[in-house]
Amino acid sequence: MLSIIVPVRDETENIGRIFNYFSKGLENLSFEVLIINDFSQDNTLDKIKSLINSSSNFKVFDNKTKGLGGAINLGIKKAEGDYIAIMMADESDDIQDLINYNNIIDSENLDAVLGSRFLKDSKVKNYPFGKLVLNRIFNFFVSLIFWNRYNDYTNAFKIYKKKTLIEIMPLISESFNIFLEMPLKIISRKYKYKVIPINWTGRKIGESKFKIKELGSKYLFTLIYCFIERNLLNKKK
């Protein structure tokens, strides 16, 4: 079974769309969607609860540890599937890419499939130019430090074998930087993974919670932490 973790904060406008998005797009798969409410200040949680009884594929959990990192950790603990995908609530990711993820990780017995928005066959729409430039520079910087050609560490949308995620615990990042920590640990510990092109569309409804100025120090912390961990692992070999 495939478990899909969807963290939400103040996503009232998107919740109904999320239910339709997964229900129609994954009707031929065995799946569960774990919606993790991350301290929403609007009526997101109430709206989820009003919709959730309509399908046994959807579950809702209330994150008690403030921060996106806590929401992801909670989702991993509650997931019942063999594979765990992480998607955001803004429909930026392509449902067909999720199906491809699931097929590839299962058929090729991988620990992870890492999507990239920046490969030849990837398609990206409505990405603010400033954010795009900063993202490409940051990913290049990370690839250089870790001597790896993967070029989209910051994108949340990836799929992992649950057993592998348990093995790389603890995940200590508190915010969006958890999406950097996870693939860095996969790559540094030499798990089996594959990189594929994916499609991505910028948010259409609601406001992005990603704030570059506020997250810079958190990303730097994660880089240093993962770099030290990698070097310690190499010394043990």
Please name which of 155, 141, 134, 142 lies closest in space to residue 202, comparing C-alpha atoms.
155
CATH code assigned at 74: 3.90.550.10
Total tally of structural domains belonging to the chain: 1
pLDDT digits (tens, 9 = 90+) for 19-58: 888 988 898 899 999 999 998 888 888 888 888 876 789 9
Put simply, whether the predicted model's pTM sits higher than 0.85 gets the answer yes
Report pLDDT for 120.
93
Residue 210: pLDDT band (50, 70, 90) is: low
pLDDT digits (tens, 9 = 90+) for 219-229: 999 999 999 99
Give the C-alpha separation, 45 to 43, whole Å. Answer: 6
Residue 16 has φ and ψ, to the nearest 5°, of -60, -35
Residue 155: pLDDT band (50, 70, 90) is: very high
Parent domain of 79: 2-236
Is 147 a residue whose pLDDT tops 80?
A: yes
